[in-house]
Chains A and B, each alone.
Chain A
Amino acid sequence: MTRTRIAVVAAGAVATALLVAGLAGARTSSTGRAHQNLAVSGTITFDGIWTASSGQKQFADVVAAFNKTYPNVHVKYKPVGDSLPTVLATAVAGGNPPDMADIAQPGTVAQFAKQGKLKPITYAKSVIGANFASAWQQLGTYSGKLYALVFKAANKSVVWYNVPAFKAAGVTPPKTFSQLLTDAKTIKSSGTPAYSIGGADGWTLTDMFENIYLRTFGAAKYDQLSEHKIKWTDGSVKTALTTMAKILGDTSNIAGGTSGALQYGFNDSVTNAFGSPPKAAMVFEADFVGGVISSSTKAKPKTGFNTFTWPAITPGADAGGVEIGGDLFVTFRDTPAIEAFVKFLATAPAAEAWAKQGGFGTGNKNVPSSIYPDPITKATEAPIGSAKSVVFDMSDEQPPSFGATAGQGEWGLFQDFLKNPKDVAGIQKKLEAAAASAYKKGK
């Protein structure tokens, strides 16, 4: 009895939905506003990192833009939050992954691809090719097959500085690394430590190393190191670490000194540099620093804080390369609805739906820089689309046990390096040992 009633109600609901959809379709097609595809239908489950406070709404706008063309595809988004890698790993191991997911670590994508859990997105190759430079396709390719679309990218080659502190020291944003070191000395003389380092979060340190490595040796060598084709005991790593030690070793010029830096997390490093009074003058971190500044300090754009591009180290084509962190969209199943959604995500309208609201960067070259809502966002996001060389955050590309685990592997060892920046050779040996064992295990 009850069951039949439910069935009747459900049937009614479906009929109404179809009717509404049909009417909607008829209306738009009659006005000729959008070409609609009613044939493709279905539900796509999507696990993402964005929650109500951090981008779920914006992603819903992207889906809404998609539904204009494909009204019969329902994207069921699940806001998993920061525990996404854990949830996803468990779901995959249990054999019941979502249709699509957003993964921040290419290393995890590689692992899933190797295990045969992912479906290739070869069908979207031509759309991606029309919208992205080839480097971006490379970022989503694993052992020759395209598995992921880099939908959202964060520019990690940015330095944020406290404008009043720079003014008090009489320095302007440096263009080269040697100028940066000179300026840092001047800033210290003015009475404010130059560097704010969030060493309690190991990834802030690896990001700094990666920018230095990219700017010293270029993208090609950078990729070799991230694939462990160059060993960590290599001379190039030694050079990069020695360069990095010029910052980390300048202890009296770091907010809180070495032991302070080891206890400050990423958020602390931002509030230290932009709180009042400031405890430091600059932070080396990605475009998302802006969000922390506006939510936890009173500093205002342009008059309180501003950005400059990570200074060049070795002159050359890659001196202005961009290191990105990002969201890789992967598919665990293959249906017409999923194919349609992936293809749509690679187009400019998909990126624009989010980009115009800020907090979003994309490698899509067809997105005009005028879409970004304010000058600082434009300054940090526009280079992502126009950069000649783009590399993914190296620590995210490596096996997570080496590149993305708190207190061990790369994160832990760079924290050891912050503790003792003099021991370059010792840290190289430990990095190589940890990398070797992680790559061996991953096989």
Chain B
Amino acid sequence: MTAGGITAEPPIAAAPPPSAGPGRLGRYLTSAIFLAPALFMLGVWMVYPAVYTIIRSFFGQTGFFGHWVGIDNYKTLFTTSTLTTAIKNNAIWVAVVPALVTAIGLVFAVLTERVRWAVAFKTVVFLPMAISAFATGVTWRIMYQQDPGLGAVNALGKTISGVFSPAGVLSSASPSIPALQSKGGALVLKTATHPGGVALLGLTGIAPDQVPKSAVQAVQPAPKPGDVVGAVWRDFKPGGGKVGVLEKGEVGLPGVTVELRDASGKTLQSTKSKPDGSFDFSKVPAGTYHAAIGAQTFAKPFGGYAWLGPNLIVPSLLISYIWIWAGFAMVVIGAGLASMPRDVLEAARTDGATEWQTFRRVTVPLLMPVLSVVFVTMIINVLKVFDIVYALAPQSEYAKANVIALAMYFAAFQGGGNFGVGSAIAVFLFLLVIPVLALNIRRFKRES
């Protein structure tokens, strides 16, 4: 078995030139034996799968050698819209995340040098790193829920908006008769009324538990000369009932702001309905009027933003990913800061540089090697991003939120096992990572 492992790696296990003495051969053999286990593992778990993936990417869905499709899989990669979206999204990730993570990490690192409780602060910022990306995805998925009753982000929005525009008492109600029409948020009865007339304002779409407790059976008020009377009531009883008629079992809606408007729409009087839903505008001069229910009654509560919807899903993903990695950047940059020669900073300050100038002209250039390590590491991480998208994005937005690694998973394992296309995507991803990797290796070499 060991011998097989060695022969599988010709460059390293190559037999020494015949001119070499027996001592040299022994040395080679010893090093080969010591290297063999590692090489064997590398071969089995790295080289073989990589080579196999590359070969597999030229074959179709069904067959191994026998169903050669050439570069068709790669064509699919660049012509299928879900896959091109994945490539575009990865470009957005690369453009946004590494820069922001590095910048935020730098700011945190510099600031934590100057605050008390720095350790506590650092721990809190670093904590997301300790959570698995999948768990983070699930957590943020819940926080991003549109329903403010479920999602923390929108709950915050609701608390704030509740202060400025409180929800109305009957926000879900809608008119039961066509004559009652919406106008600027208010409901206006189109049928004109006059002193001595009765205005009936029927509403539906009110759940039984939304009806105020004080409500009682609705009663149609008798017309009064010189007054405009009427009723606001829940025009619904089990089965629907007759529309626009106050029936037994239908309750009045108390506390609703009712307005009397003139022909031009100006509000002349306003009153609140009684427990049986009735209202009464007294001493109304002759003329034609419209009864209306004030807009504040129907003010909708803050419904929340669709963070997980098609328009915001990518930014939402980016935010939570940055939330994870900012701590990592902070710690690495912080370590760089700590090892920075203080006297240079002192010298700059003595020479009269402002804090900003010191930061801009001294700290940042000195930190450049560390910053670029963070930046490049982030590029690689972001290219490979998978778990958080898989966990956070709802299925309905996978197409919008797609990234290359996720596309690979779906093509190979979920979309009916098309390992050909899956391999092609993997190879493409590999090609994208290589230049960044090479850059990193070159820098390591230079540094050592």
Please give the residue numbers on chain A whose beta carbons come within 8 Å of chain B beta carbons, in ascending order. Answer: 85-86, 89-90, 93, 107-108, 111, 114-115, 167-171, 186, 188-192, 199-202, 252, 256, 259-260, 262-263, 265, 277, 399-401, 404-409, 411-412, 415, 418-419, 441-442
Contacts and interface: CB of A to CB of B under 8 A. Distances in A.
Nearest to A437: B80
Nearest to A117: B62
Given A114-B62, A200-B395, A263-B396, A89 B239 contact: no
A408 B76 CA distance: 14
A85 B397 CA distance: 22
Given A190-B238, A191-B208, A411 B306 contact: no
A412 B399 contact: yes
A89 B61 contact: no
A66 B207 CA distance: 54
8 contacts: A86-B414, A89-B417, A190-B236, A191-B172, A260-B147, A401-B418, A407-B410, A408-B399
B396 A407 contact: yes
Contacts of B40: none
B238 A169 contact: yes
B48 interface: no
A189 B172 contact: no
A406 B205 contact: no
Contacts of A415: 395-396
Interface string B190-230: 00000000000000111111100000000000000000000
A277 B204 contact: no
A384 to B, nearest CB: 27
Contact of B239 (A170, A188, A201): A170
Contact of A93 (B238, B395, B410, B419): B419
A189 B306 contact: no
Interface string B302-320: 0000101110000000000
Contacts of B136: none
B82 interface: yes
Contacts of B394: 200, 262-263, 265
B399 A407 contact: yes
Given A114-B62, A191-B172, A405 B410 contact: yes
Given A191-B207, A408-B410, A202 B416 contact: no
Of A111, A188, A260, A407, most B-chain CB atoms within 10 Å:
A407
A436 to B, nearest CB: 13
Most chain A CB inside 10 Å of its own CB: which residue of B397, B416, B417: B416
Given A86-B417, A442-B61, 13 more contacts: A111-B62, A111-B417, A115-B62, A167-B238, A170-B238, A189-B176, A189-B205, A189-B236, A192-B207, A202-B395, A263-B396, A404-B416, A406-B410
A419 B394 CA distance: 14
A383 B309 CA distance: 39
A200 B174 CA distance: 28
Contacts of A442: 61, 416
Nearest to A279: B147
Contact of A405 (B174, B236, B414): B414
Contacts of A404: 414, 416
A259 B309 CA distance: 7
Contacts of B208: 168, 190-191
B309 A408 contact: no
B252 to A, nearest CB: 16
Nearest to B145: A263
Interface of B: 60-62, 82, 145-147, 172, 174, 176, 204-210, 236-240, 306, 308-310, 394-399, 402, 410, 413-419
Contact of A191 (B146, B210, B397, B414): B210
A202 B394 CA distance: 10
Contacts of B309: 259, 262-263
Given A190-B207, A407-B402, A199 B396 contact: yes
Which of A107, A190, A200, A404 counts the most chain B CB atoms within 10 A? A190
A330 B410 CA distance: 24
B72 to A, nearest CB: 10
Contacts of A200: 394-396
A405 B406 CA distance: 12
Counting from the closest, the 6 A-B pairs by CB-CB distance are A170-B238, A407-B398, A191-B207, A400-B416, A170-B239, A89-B417
A182 to B, nearest CB: 9
Most-contacted residue by chain A among B147, B395, B398 (CB, 10 A) = B395
A187 B215 CA distance: 21
A111 B207 CA distance: 51
Nearest to B173: A191
A405 B399 CA distance: 11
A442 B415 CA distance: 11
Contacts of A167: 238
A405 B414 CA distance: 6
Contact of A168 (B145, B204, B238, B398): B238
A431 to B, nearest CB: 14
A86 B413 contact: yes
Contacts of A259: 146, 306, 309
Nearest to B417: A89
Given A202-B396, A277-B207, A407-B402, A263 B146 contact: yes
Contacts of B413: 85-86, 89-90
Nearest to B72: A441
Nearest to A86: B413
A169 B413 CA distance: 46
A410 B228 CA distance: 58
Contacts of B147: 256, 260
Contacts of B60: 441
Nearest to A419: B310
B415 A408 contact: yes
Nearest to B400: A407
Nearest to B204: A189
A351 B205 CA distance: 46
B69 to A, nearest CB: 10
Nearest to B406: A407
Nearest to A418: B396
Contacts of B145: 263
